[in-house]
Amino acid sequence: MNKVLIIGGHGKVALLLAPLLQEAGMEVTSVIRNAAHIDDVAAAGATAVVHDVASASVAELADLLAGQDAVVWTAGAGGGSPERTYAVDRDAAIASMDAAAAAGVQRYVMVSYLGAGQDHGVPEDNSFHAYAQAKADADAHLQSSQLAWTIVAPGALTLAEPTHRIDPTPAAGRPEGAANETSRANVAHVIAAVLQTPGTIMRTVEFSDGEVPIAEALTR
């Protein structure tokens, strides 16, 4: 795998991921919405491409993805209105999957969250509902696609330093109310490892910070 495109390239996880991929010998392109972030992306070792994926058609996204070996979706609306959340976290994500298929880019890694799914249980009057439902719909579309997908599902994100060790216990097997904190740095290392571990294809990798080395956790 030589060329990886990150959608949401100025996010905290993406900026930590890009240098890891570059160090592994990959050519990294990061898609961003704001041209003011070009220098930050370049400093992380990626080539910045300014493009608003939320307003792009599948055909436009397919042109953007052409020639890539893998796509990593780390973008998100970051809160705000439910309409914006559905537009980015569901609709744009699904469009990027369809575009990857159209462009012949088989490998696709989606960053979701621990416990995501149609059975998320978040009530409609909860402010988290739009995000939970958008991610559930996007994940379901990816799982039903013909892409070589992996869903990376971390717990509550923190800015802690990387430990390179995780707890791969599925959400269903965790105590109710557990903190499940997960450093963004560990998320970046998991994504980098996933891209180099064929055994993670067609798998959802649920995790938080823990004691199991990442490479070991991914091959269980």
Q: Among the listed ranges 8-12, 58-62, 95-99, 177-181, which one has the minimum average pLDDT value?
A: 177-181
Global pTM value? 0.96
Instruction: Give the per-residue pLDDT at 220.
Output: 83
The H or E element that residue 42 is part of is: helix 38-43
Residue 117 confidence class, pLDDT cut points 50, 70, 90: very high
- Where are the chain's structural domains? 3-218
pLDDT digits (tens, 9 = 90+) for 137-173: 999 999 999 999 999 999 999 999 999 999 999 999 9
Bridge partners, residue 110, by sequence: 73, 151
What average pLDDT does the segment 28-45 reach? 97
pLDDT at residue 1 tops 80: no
State the SS3 of 162-187: CCCEEECCCHHHCCCCCCCCEEHHHH
The H or E element that residue 153 is part of is: strand 148-154
pLDDT at residue 79 tops 80: no
Residue 80 confidence class, pLDDT cut points 50, 70, 90: confident
- Superfamily name and number for 3-218: NAD(P)-binding Rossmann-like Domain (3.40.50.720)
pLDDT at residue 104 tops 90: yes
pLDDT at residue 20 tops 80: yes
Instruction: Give the per-residue pLDDT at 176.
Output: 86
Token digits of residue 185: 């740095």
What average pLDDT does the segment 197-212 reach? 98
- What is the phi-psi region of residue 45: left when phi exceeds 0, alpha when psi lies from -120 to 50, beta otherwise? left
pLDDT at residue 31 tops 80: yes
Instruction: Give the per-residue pLDDT at 140.
Output: 98
What average pLDDT does the segment 123-146 reach? 96
Instruction: Give the per-residue pLDDT at 78.
Output: 84
Residue 178 confidence class, pLDDT cut points 50, 70, 90: confident
pLDDT at residue 85 tops 90: yes
CB atoms within 10 A of CB 123: 9
Mean pLDDT of the chain, nearest integer: 96
Instruction: Give the per-residue pLDDT at 216.
Output: 97
Q: Which residues, 6+ apart, have CB-to-CB distance to 201 below 8 Å?
A: 107, 148, 149, 150
pLDDT at residue 197 tops 90: yes
